[in-house]
A and B are shown apart, each in its own frame.
Chain A
Amino acid sequence: KNQVEQSPQSLIILEGKNCTLQCNYTVSPFSNLRWYKQDTGRGPVSLTIMTFSENTKSNGRYTATLDADTKQSSLHITASQLSDSASYICVVSAINSNYQLIWGAGTKLIIKP
């Protein structure tokens, strides 16, 4: 069964600290993986996309990694800011006729001053 699992479920860190969020998937055949940021009370917004051939991609203070062999991705946030408080959702795209997206449950990140 195609699944996406994220860890931890929630995380609290102090402002200025770094953190890493994990995403493991069993989706096959794999097309790509996206990380979304969802602020409280709003819809998700795409942060970055990782394709099969990409290992690392940065978007400002966000760096995503992908290991297609072990089917793992991570999202590293550097020098966290209060505005980083949000849920971060990993979404994997499966190659099939239904254009299926498999959504993780997300990691809720809280940045404390």
Chain B
Amino acid sequence: NAGVTQTPKFQVLKTGQSMTLQCAQDMNHNSMYWYRQDPGMGLRLIYYSASEGTTDKGEVPNGYNVSRLNKREFSLRLESAAPSQTSVYFCASSVSPADTEAFFGQGTRLTVV
């Protein structure tokens, strides 16, 4: 029962460093998402992939890039990390973009110093 698996769970970066957050799902879902969660705020969509081969910007895409590697995997890249990107990042998947039930990974807690 793996569901959605994210790696790593914790990461500390220095300002300007780059890193890639990995996400994989084993539910044969078509759609995948990357969110960030900050204290006192709702989840905010960074990027999403409605189906394999497509990616689109969400609410807060600046400073991030994504790759839908195949149907299972959707990665998020920070090219030059900034302290404002300190957050908890969640990957999620759903059967389709119209399906509002998303299944989430356990999250990656990222600190940029």
Q: Which of B42, B44, B104, B107 contacts A45 (CB 8 A)?
A: B104
Taking the complex as formed, is A64 at the interface, i.e. its CB lies under 8 A from any CB of chain B?
A: no
Tell me if B's interface is mostly helix, strand, loop or mixed.
loop
Contact A41 B106 (CB under 8 A): yes
Contact B42 A93 (CB under 8 A): no
Contact B100 A43 (CB under 8 A): no
B101 partner residues in chain A, CB cutoff 8 A: 34, 46, 49
Taking the complex as formed, is B76 at the interface, i.e. its CB lies under 8 A from any CB of chain A?
A: no
Taking the complex as formed, is A110 at the interface, i.e. its CB lies under 8 A from any CB of chain B?
A: no
A:27-49 near B, CB below 8 Å: 31-32, 34, 41-46, 49
Tell me if A's interface is mostly helix, strand, loop or mixed.
strand
B4 partner residues in chain A, CB cutoff 8 A: 43
Instruction: Compute how far the CA of A9 lies from the CA of B41 in the bound complex, rounded to whole angstroms.
Output: 11
Taking the complex as formed, is B2 at the interface, i.e. its CB lies under 8 A from any CB of chain A?
A: no
Task: Name the residue of chain A whose CB is nearest to the CB of B4.
Answer: A43
A4 partner residues in chain B, CB cutoff 8 A: 42
A:80-103 near B, CB below 8 Å: 89, 91, 93, 98-99, 101-103
Taking the complex as formed, is B61 at the interface, i.e. its CB lies under 8 A from any CB of chain A?
A: no
Instruction: Compute how far the CA of A101 lies from the CA of B100 in the bound complex, rounded to whole angstroms.
Output: 8
CB distance from A105 to the nearest CB of B (A): 5
Contact A102 B106 (CB under 8 A): no
CB distance from A33 to the nearest CB of B (A): 9
With known contacts A43-B92, A104-B42, A99–B50 Cβ distance under 8 A: yes
Instruction: Compute how far the CA of A46 lies from the CA of B98 in the bound complex, rounded to whole angstroms.
Output: 15
Contact A41 B107 (CB under 8 A): yes
Contact B41 A43 (CB under 8 A): no
Q: Which of B42, B100, B105 contacts A105 (CB 8 A)?
A: B42
A residues near B, CB below 8 A?
A: 4, 9, 31-32, 34, 41-46, 49, 89, 91, 93, 98-99, 101-106
